[in-house]
Amino acid sequence: MWLLKLSFFALIALVGLWLGCAILCIFLARTRGASLFTVNWLVNRIHRRHVEEAIRVHSDGRMLDIGCGVSPFATVLQTYSDTLTNLEFDRHRSVAVSPDIWGSGLALPFRGKSFDTVVSFQVLEHIPRPAKMVEEIWRVLVPGGLLILTAPHIWGIHEEPNDYFRFTGYGLRQLAEDAGLKVVSVQPLAGYWVTTAARHCHYLQQFEKIGLALLMRPLYALIQLVGLLLDRIHRVESDAWNFILIAERPQSS
């Protein structure tokens, strides 16, 4: 009998905890948008940390952001540059963005040696000829200028059908060197556990469509926190979801 009672109270406590999380997640969604209870919170947080650190340390002068999207890093990019030029590709596809200039990473609409820093975040996988875009970046950088670029290694297909490639750290290094850039660093962003947590949350997101959002969101929080913790304990970088490349156009070129 006592076991039945205990199970009953445990069940009530669990439901209460879940409901509490659901209410907290609705509150956070209203006040802050993205939170622990939203898909991609963990990977966006890690990506932002690495990007902001790279910009703080490496960028200055005239800056170009290729494939800026909704410019999630605009504030920090502006802080660490003299001028920021946001470039986007297709005005019909990207209706919600307002770049400074429309153009393609495959044929940048600028003269050679126009920028001190070029950044491009999560764009290279959407370029049908990525080597050509890296060559274009080399062309518009001044000698001594820097490229900061992030690209996915393990991630689901998105922005279909314009999603062509995934990159290892070695692949990014090769692309940069082939274009004449000198690699400063190539770094994985987290490892297996973060990748797994992110992919699990993506999988579960489909159940929101059938009215299970309040059930899923506390699960996102749990999965992402466990992913973050396990990644700190054992980081398996060969399964990183993303890489960041920093490369320089040599002074002598």
Ligand X SMILES: C[S@@+](CC[C@H](N)C(=O)[O-])C[C@H]1O[C@@H](n2cnc3c(N)ncnc32)[C@H](O)[C@@H]1O
Binding site for ligand X (CB under 6 A): 66-69, 72, 88-90, 93-94, 104-106, 121-123, 126-127, 162
DSSP run (H or E) holding 141: strand 141-152
When the beta carbons of 152 and 218 are compared against ligand X, the nearer one is: 152
Q: What is the rounded CA–CA span in Å between residue 34 and residue 13?
A: 27
Question: Count of alpha carbons within 13 Å of 38, Cβ hemisphere only?
Answer: 14
Q: What is the rounded CA–CA span in Å between residue 11 and residue 3?
A: 12
Least distance from C-beta 153 to ligand X, angstroms? 14
Least distance from C-beta 66 to ligand X, angstroms? 5
Least distance from C-beta 139 to ligand X, angstroms? 15
When the beta carbons of 88 and 116 are compared against ligand X, the nearer one is: 88
Q: What is the rounded CA–CA span in Å between residue 139 and residue 101?
A: 18
When the beta carbons of 141 and 221 are compared against ligand X, the nearer one is: 141
Identify which of 232, 228, 225, 240 has the alpha carbon closest to the alpha carbon of residue 36: 225
Least distance from C-beta 124 to ligand X, angstroms? 9
Least distance from C-beta 158 to ligand X, angstroms? 7
Dihedral angle sign, alpha carbons of residues 174, 175, 177, 178: positive
When the beta carbons of 73 and 193 are compared against ligand X, the nearer one is: 73
Q: What is the rounded CA–CA span in Å between residue 224 and residue 195?
A: 10
When the beta carbons of 56 and 129 are compared against ligand X, the nearer one is: 129
Residue with the CB atom nearest ligand X in the bound state: 69
